[in-house]
Amino acid sequence: MTDSSISSITRRQFISIAAAATAAAALPAGDFALGQSSTDAVPQAASSHAGLDPDWTDAGIIATRNSPYAKLKSVPVRAVTITPGFWSKRRQTNVESSIPSMRVELIDHGRMDNFLRLEGKSAAPQRGPVYSDSDIYKWVEAVGFALQSGPLPELRAPTEEMIRQVVAAQEPSGYLNTYYVESRQSDRMLAKTQTTGHELYCIGHLLQGGIAYYRATGDPTLLDAGVRFVDNFLLPGYGPAANQGPIVAGHPEIEMSLIELYRTTGNKRYLDLAGYILQGDPRIPLLERQIVYMFCGVPFTSRTKLEGHAVRAMYACCGATDYYLETGDPAYWKTLNRLWDDLSEHQLYVTGGVGARSDGEAFGNAYELPNERAYGESCAAIGNMMWNWRMLSASGEAKFTDVMERALYNGINSGMSLDGKLYCYRNPLAYDPSSGDKIRNPWYDTTCCPPNLERTFASLPGYFYSTSPEGVYVHFYDNSEMHWQLENGAKLTLTQTTQYPWEGTVHLAVTPASPEEFTLFVRIPGWSKRNTVKVNGREVAGIMPGQYLPLKRKWSAGDAVELTFDMEPQALHANLAVTDDRGRIAFQRGPIVYCMEQLDQAVAATDTEGFPRYTAQLAGTKATPYQPALLEGVVVLEHPGAWLPPEQSALYQAALPSRQAAHETTLRLIPYYAWSNRQPSAMQVWIPYRQA
């Protein structure tokens, strides 16, 4: 998180989500502007508030319901229930273990004392980096999304206490930040502070947290604090007018949150300010290295490649796509697609992670994708998924969903331990325990990743479906039920029954309230080469991998779709320009990318110095039966390979055909997301291959 060449900048984090039906029925009547926690208030239509989206309780992860350039409209988190299967355990762990234990960590590390001190309720000094407030806001957002799937009173009560303590620290001017106070007050919103101080970054997370909590509970207390900051402090003081000060995001985040605030309130000034920030303020002169690193400060539409700090770049792309969804500005769409091509052609790890370099937590050059040194910050993978969600919303194209799925199942899912209490900041694709690098930790002083992972898993149901005027899109596969409606208002239930991602068959029960003609768009994953789709037992033609298959008909209760995807294990090789992967292969089955851990291999660990001594044949992978007791339930891959014993020879020698004996062995591979959940062990995703 640091870049000494700029200053002690760096930060990261991420997104949000949706609401509980019961909470939605208890909408507060309170004024949006100065809310109390009024969850007991009499239900009253929010449309009585000027400009407030009357359908706000039906908002999805991002509320694209009224976005004119969103081809797909979001489905609320609360409309989708993920039933026992692959993601349910993760989400249960998230709510029962991760979110509560992270609250304790946040409090133990002074994150709430920072607020309480300003209220005279704590004598503790300020603790943590400049962006410490955002840790609390992102955690509240995780709770907000969790509450959209159920009431969780044990989480709600302490969260409301924290929200009250946060809001009590807000100054009458609307300013709210626990770092730029007292002796640092004179630094507020200086150009230098804006580039490195994360004031607007923190407020962006406050807004996202406040919106998620509001959509879950109807309680606008935190959201109102964000509105007061923007209305009373930010908008009057900063912007393009001669009597306003200049503005730069520093760490992009405020852009997408201002646009979500616009979606929540209808106040176009928020959208306009986001657009101005995306354009860059020429009154703040920036060095070239700052423009690269911060991914802001000059017109977004002047960008030609992904570069600089990866989380900053991903969040900037999120904000720019949100801006496109509201304005339809073709220059933005052109730039976004150019950047996406750079992502998918040059910058994306096979795990869906992004940001190759530790130095500056940055994108590398094209094809610069080291494995052991990979940075692949959890927040960057999350930012990647958030951005692709927005690109999908704009286009309806499945190539964006493919990237989301790759990131979600692999480079994001790896970021949290199976017990939910340890987190990765880095997500390398190879690991040597003798490096002493501790990959999974309960706490980081820059603790952006843990609450980011928590909000992502809490929001997951909101990513499963979208609607369009033609019908409904199915993006993700897992046991689940959707109770929602078509855009014409017709009620619809979709029920998935599957062992995905371990098996490739998905049963989809389509249950409209009454017979209805519409199109069911089912996603055919790009990795699935051979597929069958049956509607009521009859096979459908025209299936294309990496596209949505439109199934248009008059649907009636009892209709059933059966999808069967290609679960043959696949050996992948990378473009030869990726020097670290040259001569190596990686393994994928379904959406799951695999890795080798030393401790699973037949050759005793003491005999080896790690993975360079293993080689894999090019073909012959077998998937073993699902093992419920291993790593909370996985399918292991077995692959023919060999192990080369240590060589007693000079560092350099004549190049002759090797006479070294290779011992045949069977390589055992586990899902990458589950690595480092047992004792420390060497790990690699890309394995050297040799012709059999």
Q: Are 471 and 519 in contact (CB under 8 A)?
A: yes
* Between 140 and 398, CB nearer to Zn ion: 140
Name the minimum Å distance from CB 67 to Zn ion: 28
Q: Which of 3, 6, 9, 12 binds Zn ion (CB under 5 A)?
A: 12
Beta-strand relationship, 465-468 and 80-82: unpaired
Point out the residue whose Cβ comes nearest to Zn ion.
379
Name the minimum Å distance from CB 562 to Zn ion: 40
The total of other beta-carbon atoms located within 10 Å of residue 442's CB is 14
Q: Which of 234, 412, 448, 522 binds Zn ion (CB under 5 A)?
A: 448
- From the list 6-14, 124-132, 142-150, 492-500, the region that binds Zn ion by CB under 5 A is 6-14
Span between the terminal Cα atoms of the chain, in Å: 44
Name the minimum Å distance from CB 317 to Zn ion: 16
* Between 353 and 512, CB nearer to Zn ion: 353
* Between 103 and 312, CB nearer to Zn ion: 312
171 CB contacts (<8 Å, ≥6 apart)? none
Q: Kindly write out the interface string for residues 329-368 of this chain, putting x where it contacts Zn ion by CB under 5 A and - elsewhere.
A: ----------------------------------------
- From the list 204-212, 443-451, 632-640, 647-655, the region that binds Zn ion by CB under 5 A is 443-451
- The SS3 of residue 303 is coil
- Specify the length of the chain in residues: 692
Helices (H), 177-304: 191-196, 199-217, 221-228, 235-237, 254-265, 268-279, 288-294
- C-alpha dist (Å) from residue 192 to 7, 233, 240, 247: 10, 18, 18, 11
Instruction: Report the C-alpha gap between 296 and 312 in whole angstroms.
Output: 8
Side chain identity at residue 492, one-letter code? L
Q: Kindly write out the interface string for residues 635-674 of this chain, putting x where it contacts Zn ion by CB under 5 A and - elsewhere.
A: ----------------------------------------
- From the list 22-30, 442-450, 455-463, 563-571, the region that binds Zn ion by CB under 5 A is 442-450
Enumerate residues 449-468 that contact Zn ion by CB under 5 A.
449
Beta-strand relationship, 516-524 and 471-474: parallel
Name the minimum Å distance from CB 363 to Zn ion: 15
* Between 174 and 376, CB nearer to Zn ion: 376
Contact between 391 and Zn ion per CB under 5 A: no
The total of other beta-carbon atoms located within 10 Å of residue 107's CB is 14
Name the minimum Å distance from CB 667 to Zn ion: 32
Contact between 379 and Zn ion per CB under 5 A: yes
* Between 12 and 421, CB nearer to Zn ion: 12
Name the minimum Å distance from CB 292 to Zn ion: 20
Q: Token digits for 402?
A: 């493919």
* Between 90 and 455, CB nearer to Zn ion: 455
Per the DSSP assignment, residues forming a β-bridge with 642 are 615, 664
- The SS3 of residue 231 is helix
Name the minimum Å distance from CB 423 to Zn ion: 9
Name the minimum Å distance from CB 648 to Zn ion: 44
* Between 251 and 639, CB nearer to Zn ion: 251
* Between 362 and 506, CB nearer to Zn ion: 362
Q: Are 556 and 573 in contact (CB under 8 A)?
A: no
* Between 430 and 449, CB nearer to Zn ion: 449
* Between 130 and 448, CB nearer to Zn ion: 448
DSSP characters for 335-403?
HHHHHHHHIIIII--TTS----BTGGGB--STT---STT----HHHHHHHHHHHHHHHHHH--HHHHHH
Q: Give the residues lining the site for Zn ion (CB under 5 A).
A: 12, 377, 379, 448-449
